[in-house]
Every structure is written in structure tokens, then in C-alpha cells.
Amino acid sequence: MHSFLRLSLIAMALLLALPARATTLCVDSVSELAQAINGYASEPDDSTLTIKVVQGNYLVNALLTSAPHDANERLINLKLLGGYSAGCASRTINPLNTVIDANNQANTALSFFLGEDANATIEGITLTRFVAQSGQAVLNLESFYGFSSEAIFAVRHCRFFSNVGHQIVNVRAAQMDVVNNQISNNTLLGGGAAALLATWKNEGDSRIALNNNTIVANAGGAGVMVSTDTRSSARISEFAGNILWANGSTDLVFVQPNLLGSPAPLITANVYGSVSGTSMPAGNSTANPQFVNAAGGNYTLAAGSPAINSGPSLQLYGFPTRDLTGGARIIGSLIDRGAHEASVSDQSSFLVTTTADNGNNSSPITGSLRAAIKAANASALPFKINFAISGTCPRIVSLAAPMLDIVREVSIDGSTQPGWVGNSSYSVFDASLCLVVNGSGSTPYAFHVPSNASGARLTVNGMMFAGFTDAAIKLEGGADHRISGNQFGAVPFTSANNDAIRVTGNSGRAIIGGFDDTGAVNLIAGSSNVGIYLDNAAGGSVLGNNVIGFQADGNGNGANETGVFIFNSPGNSLQYNRIGNSLSNGVSISGAASTGTMLQYNVIGLTASDTPAGNQGAGVGNPFRGQKQHHRRAPEQRLWWQ
């Protein structure tokens, strides 16, 4: 390895080891809230200010002015979080319980100019009756000094209504997450006004995730305006599951829409009234979303709304874990469009009550997993399999024979089993899962979608798999499968899986893991062949935030033969995975058809403690040997060379 590269890596490690300063404030009065927000710019460099707001109504009047809180080129991260109980002992994320009210006072806003590398999160808060200074936004988050492609500005689970401004929400950064918010009944002033303005930074790799929002009935301007420049980005933007409706002018506007170049953004399952600057692909809708009482400001979905159970089957940046007001986020086969989830399910269901399995596909044991899959295959409706097996964890389902193929739309949800606890961290797997499906070294797979099941869509969550001689989950047909929150291998007293997950044959895309949801992380360890094997001709799978080749603590060795293997499968995306200890390559890509593969922001060859966990082959195997390389690896990719 070149000496300068080794020195750079050592310097990076030393810098990463330096502790950052943090200030956490628990506020429960108007004066404390105003003092905390107005004190942001006084925080020291390389610090994080976390403001935890106790539930209540905060009549701030003119205490929060439009004057920006300016970091002056310092790195000061910001977290403004609502929903806390007294003393900040616990939290319920619901913007209805934490309301900041400016009482229609002039020149009021929350405005922050953040320095390079700084992150910002605004979550679980209502802003109402703010009147921003002319030409400004009610909530303004700008990466004002310098630029970092790693900076993330997130506005989640918030509500904005009865405000006045040029924009209601303005975000400008490399990575922008505007997810599960309601922006409604605001007044927009000035030319080019918009309820939400998201601006692609002028330098480097930018992306926007605008997902699951309800942006409606904002007078005087556009609903959403996305403004980019002419520079390219390797990141993928996503606009999924939003309701953009009845705004004063165009509901969705693209200005200089460079993000519609390569890679193409995912624009899917939105409801909109009008659009300019782009053409909307199939799968979006102009049908009236049918709110319960739009005239009264109630934008929950009425019974019979076409937005119910019709959202995207997959989202690149993950689904919110709850809806806007804290209810269950996915009730039914698909997420609802917009920020609110209706209590309407289109699924049939089956309750598994026994671990027993007789291996008989014609006459399975009543209440068994095999009986559940048989019922799912016979159903004309989407189907959900829940669990309520008595006894203490773990509960082990040992398959006596190969399981029935899955040929329809089926969700198998191990998180419903009493005793299940989901994962809460990235880079490790601290879940306590209760259900184990064991192939005992003699069964090819736990769940299999055959190549002729073109209409199948399999979702598997919250289970452990061990001892399968082909692949624990093998997807040969169907599309839009989702595998999240599971453990493959590293199960005591069991044999290894050959492959943990394989996407092959006629199968369309799958999401393995996820984003913005620690519960979506999969642990993939100890496979005697490949952890995740992609050789489907359709390609298009997304692998996000998986822990591959480690034990549950993210440090111990859980080696797979190969971490991820991609063969003649195009357009796949690997982001934020931790991959190490492979007996051959961490990631192997081969075959002339494996074009457009994107590797970004993965950590390869390091443990969760950032100690070496080298792969015995290459971190990323070079598949093209002298040919033009078709995959991209971002500069931020962290590789440990030995």
C-alpha cells in the first residue's frame, strides 16, 4: 500500500477518535425554549446541540425572530426534537403534542445557517402562526458555509399550518430528508413561492428524499419546488408516496431538473394535481385523494380514498416507522400515500400458534407456518402471517421437509411474536428475535418464490434463519420483495446457511435492509457460500445498512465465504453496509451485464469499533480487468487495505 495512503488512513482514524462536544437541553417553558434555540450559534465548534422539547403548547410570540442563527463556518449539529414527557424521561413522536405558536407576530421564524459538515434534524413538532420576514421561510435550514457531501438535513414527523412566508420549509444541503410531514393551509407570498423549497447544493453529490408527506391547500404558491443546478450527482433522489394537492399554483415544480439525469430519481406512487419541469412516470396518480374534511383542515384519508393501501411497495430510503400522529404506519399490504395511515387493511391474515411441522404440504399441522403459507397461496387477497406461539424465546420451527413455494403477495412478520425486540443501532445487531426457522442442514430454503410466480411479493421481517443448504430465502420470481430486520446465521447450536439471501432467475428488485430505520438492519453471518447473492437479470436491488460478516456486536468474526456477490445483475445499489471478515472478497462483481452498480458509503474491512476486520480477498473485487468499469464507488467509501 502506498505510504501516503496509509498515513492518510491513520490520520483519519485519529481525527475520528477525537470526542465531539455535546449539549443536551430539556426544555418545558417558553423562555427555556427560546433561550435554547437562540443560543444555537453560541455553541462551540465541533459540537451538537440537542433540544428536547417537553409536550405542550409554547406561545412564543415574537421571541423567535426571522434573523438567522448563524454558525459562522463552525460545525454545530442541531437536533430539535418534540414529544418528551416531563423531565424528558420518555418520548412520543406526534407533532400534535408539541406546538410552537408565534401568535401571528411579524418577522418570526426558525432560521439556521449551518457550517460545513453540520447535520440538522427537526422532528415531532408543530409550527403555527409564524409570519416570516419578506422573502424568507418559516423553517429555514441552509448549509451556508462550505459544503459537505455527508451533511444531512432532516425534517420528519412535523406539521406546519396557518403560517405566512415565501416558503414554509426551505432546506439546502447535500442530503435532504423531508419525510412524513403535513404542510397545509399556509399563505405563500412573492414570486416563486413554495410551501417546500428543496435546493440541490452547487457542489458535489446531492440527493433529496421527499417521501410520505401531505402538502395541501397552501395558498399563493407551489406545493413543492425542487431546484437543482447543472452538476451531476452519484446519489439517487426519491419522491415517493406524497400527496401534493390543491395548492395555490403548481403542486410540484422542478427547476433546472438536473436530478432527472443519471442516476434517475425514483418518482413513484405520488398523488398530485399538477406538475411542471418533468413528466411523471407511470404509477403516480391525479385522482382526488378524498380527505375526511379538507374544509376543516382534516387531511386524514376518508374511507374509500384511492390513497389507502396504494403507496409504493418499496422505498429506497425506507418507510417511516409510524404515521404523522404516531399510529401504525403500514396497515394493509401497502403503505398509504401521504403522512396519515388509515386503519383499513386489505389483507387476509393467519396466526401461527405452533412450532410443529409435519412436512406435509397437503395436510399441514393446524396453526403451523406451513399451514399459513398454504392459506396464503390460496388467498385472492394480500396475506399477512402473524405469530403467537406460546412459551419462552427462542421458539424454533424445524422444517421436516422443503417448505411450500410462495406464489402470492405475502408478508411474514416475526415482530408479531411475543418476546420480539427489534434492532436499535446501526453497524451492530442488538435485536432480540424470538423465532428461528431451522433447516437443520438438510432443507434447501425456508422461503422460496419460484420463477413462474410473476405476481408474488414477499416481505420477511424479524426472524432468524439457519441450516439451509441452498439459500435461507431464495427469490426467483415476483418483484419488490423486502427482507428487513432478520438474522441469518450466528444462531447457536445450528449449522450454517449456504447462502443467506439469493435474488435470481426472473425476480425483480428487492430491498434488503433499509434506510432511516435501525429496525430494518439485517445481520448476515457465517454463510458457507455467499451472504447476499444477486444474479437476477432484472437487477435493481438495494442493499442498505446490513451487517455482513460479523457477530451481533459488530466486532466478532461472523465470516461468510463472500459477503456480497453480483453476477450479470445490473443497476444494484449498495449503501451504508458494514462488510468484513469474508474468506474471499467482501464484494465481488462480475459478468458483462453487471452495469450501473453503485457502491457508496459502505464500510468494508472494519468492525463497528473501527478495528481491522479484513477480507481475505479484495474489499471490492475488480470484475472488469482492463475494461471500462461500470460500477461507481464514491470517494466516501471507507475501505481497509491490508
Q: Are 594 and 568 in contact (CB under 8 A)?
A: yes
Q: Are 141 and 173 in contact (CB under 8 A)?
A: yes
What pLDDT, in 10s, does the model give residues 606-620?
A: 999 999 999 999 999
Q: Can you read off the three cell numbers belonging to residue 215?
A: 402538502
Q: Can you read off the three cell numbers belonging to residue 551?
A: 457477530
pLDDT value of residue 626: 31
HSE-up of residue 515 (Cα within 13 Å, Cβ side): 22
On the question of a cis peptide bond just before residue 263, with omega within 30 degrees of 0, the verdict is: yes
Cα 547–552–555 angle (5° rounding)?
80
pLDDT value of residue 129: 98
Q: 632 pLDDT exceeds 60?
A: no
227 phi/psi in degrees, rounded to 5: -115, 125
Q: Can you read off the three cell numbers belonging to residue 70?
A: 448563524
pLDDT value of residue 349: 92
pLDDT value of residue 636: 43
CA–CA distance, 145 with 637 (Å, rounded to integer): 24
| Category of 290 on φ-ψ map: left (φ > 0), alpha (ψ -120 to 50) or beta | left
Pairing mode, if any, of strands 69-70 and 298-301? unpaired
Cβ atoms within 10 Å of 515's Cβ, excluding its own: 19
Beta bridge partners of 243: 214, 271
- pLDDT band, very low/low/confident/very high, at 357 (cuts 50, 70, 90): very high
Mean pLDDT score, 456-467:
97
Beta bridge partners of 112: 69, 141
Candidates 248, 346, 264, 267; CA nearest to 305 is 346
Sheet holding 383-387, edge to edge: 348-352, 383-387, 409-413, 457-461, 481-484, 510-513, 542-544, 573-575, 598-600, 632-633
Mean pLDDT of the chain: 90
Top pLDDT among 316 and 330 is at 330
Residue whose entry in the numeric block shows the C-alpha cell 389483507: 347
Residue 597's Cα: distance from chain center in Å? 20
For the chain, what's the residue count? 642
pLDDT value of residue 263: 65
Distances (CA, A) of 213 to 224, 342, 371: 11, 14, 39
What pLDDT, in 10s, does the model give residues 390-432?
A: 999 999 999 999 999 999 999 999 999 999 999 999 999 999 9
Q: 628 pLDDT exceeds 80?
A: no
- pLDDT band, very low/low/confident/very high, at 261 (cuts 50, 70, 90): low
- pLDDT band, very low/low/confident/very high, at 229 (cuts 50, 70, 90): low
pLDDT value of residue 635: 36
Q: 468 pLDDT exceeds 90?
A: yes
Q: In this structure, which amino acid lies at residue 570?
A: P
Annotated domain spans of the chain: 15-301, 396-639
Candidates 164, 170, 210, 197; CA nearest to 339 is 210
Q: 520 pLDDT exceeds 50?
A: yes
Q: Are 171 and 198 in contact (CB under 8 A)?
A: yes
What pLDDT, in 10s, does the model give residues 48-88?
A: 999 999 999 999 999 999 999 999 888 999 999 999 999 99
Q: Are 438 and 486 in contact (CB under 8 A)?
A: no
418 phi/psi in degrees, rounded to 5: -55, 135
CA–CA distance, 111 with 501 (Å, rounded to integer): 46
562-592 residues labelled b (16+ CB within 10 A) or e (exposed)? bbbbbbbbbbbbbbbbbbbbbebbbbbbbee
Q: In this structure, which amino acid lies at residue 603?
A: V
Mean pLDDT score, 85-97:
96
pLDDT value of residue 367: 97
CA–CA distance, 124 with 640 (Å, rounded to integer): 38
Q: 5 pLDDT exceeds 50?
A: no
Burial (0-12, 13-18, 19+ Cβ within 10 Å), 90: exposed
Candidates 578, 637, 575, 594; CA nearest to 209 is 575
Residue whose entry in the numeric block shows the C-alpha cell 467509501: 637
pLDDT value of residue 614: 94
On the question of a cis peptide bond just before residue 402, with omega within 30 degrees of 0, the verdict is: no
DSSP 3-state of 95: helix
Cα 183–184–186 angle (5° rounding)?
105
The region of weakest confidence among 64-68, 148-152, 445-449 is 148-152
CA–CA distance, 423 with 36 (Å, rounded to integer): 32
CA–CA distance, 615 with 606 (Å, rounded to integer): 9
What pLDDT, in 10s, does the model give residues 530-570?
A: 999 999 999 999 999 999 999 999 999 999 999 999 999 99
Candidates 159, 196, 191, 194; CA nearest to 176 is 196
